[in-house]
Amino acid sequence: MPIFFILYFEVFATRYLYEKMPPEIPIFNSGPEEQVTMNRTIKSLLVVASGVLAMVFAGAAFGIVGRPAPGGPTTSPGTPPPDASTGPPVNEPKVAMSPLTAQEASPKKGLRAGKQAKLSIPVSNVGPDQVTNLVATIKLPTGITLRGADPATDPDTDTAKPKKNWQCYGTDDGMTKCTLSVIDAGDDTAINLKITVAADAPTSGTLTGDIQAADDVFTQIPDTQLTVDPK
């Protein structure tokens, strides 16, 4: 209802001014004809101004003024635009599952300080294809060093299937590297490490590592907590 009173007031005020304004407005150094023309111009401007005000009041009353355009931002004036980084998440490319799986390392007969022992890390190919050119990188705990893993002298080596035998050696940076040419689809192998436990080896330590192969095949060797029994 207030909008109708506003419109009525605007129309009434404009009509009153239009009718009550004298036919001539004295203007300096102007003749009667110029005064009448100027008077008509002022009256016309009053009518236009009154119409504009009426439209503004009507728009404000019906919520048209200040309303965002269709599809435009819905934030109020003074509100910063939405941050693009908070938009819907972008679908990241899926990483293919590795066909290789590795299990935790396990000692054959436990670890004792000052003694030799053996560790075994089971590795399987659960994929539909062969995995080739495998390289395992292993970090042994402090106080435990690689003694060797020569398949020709290691009784744990599967001589019937020589391609399952990992070749292991120590590196200058204290890491252990083991290589294997191929694991057939659905086949199982084991990295067998012959180690020496120092007499002053800590009572516990963590073995870590990973296995990489051709065609960007990769798998992590689970971190294994190894316990060393004192003498």
Find the domain containing 113 and state its range. Answer: 100-229
Note whether 110 and 51 are same-domain residues. no
Find, among 38, 18, 19, the residue nearest to 28 by Cα.
Answer: 38
Residue 113 lies in a domain: yes
Backbone φ and ψ for 71, nearest 5 degrees, come out as 85, -5
Q: Is residue 195 one of the residues assigned to a domain? A: yes
In a domain, 94, yes or no: no
Q: Is 136 in contact with 166 (CB distance < 8 Å)?
A: yes
For residue 86, the 8-state DSSP code is G
Task: Looking at the structure, tell me whether residues 21 and 118 fall in a common domain.
Answer: no
Asked whether residue 107 is assigned to any structural domain, the reply reads yes
pLDDT per residue as tens digits for the range 171-206: 989 899 999 999 999 999 999 999 999 999 999 999
**Do both 60 and 147 map to the same domain?**
no
Q: Do 187 and 121 belong to one domain?
A: yes
Shared domain check, 106 and 54: no
Give phi and psi for 109, each to the nearest 5.
-135, 35
Give pLDDT tens digits along the chain (231 positions).
555 555 555 555 555 555 655 555 554 455 555 555 555 666 566 666 666 666 666 666 555 545 555 555 555 556 665 555 555 555 655 456 899 999 999 998 899 999 999 999 999 999 999 999 999 999 999 999 998 655 444 545 555 555 678 999 999 898 999 999 999 999 999 999 999 999 999 999 999 999 999 999 999 999 999 999 987
Token reading at 45: 């401007």
What is the three-class DSSP state of 14? helix
pTM over 0.75: no
On whether both 57 and 120 belong to a single domain, the answer is: no
Q: CATH number, domain at 107?
A: 2.60.40.1510
Same domain, 22 and 132: no
Task: Please identify, among 44, 68, 92, the residue that sits at the C-terminal boundary of a domain.
Answer: 68
The tally of domains found in the chain comes to 2
Q: Could you tell me if residue 168 is inside a domain?
A: yes
Residue type, 87: G
Whether 23 maps to a domain, the answer reads yes
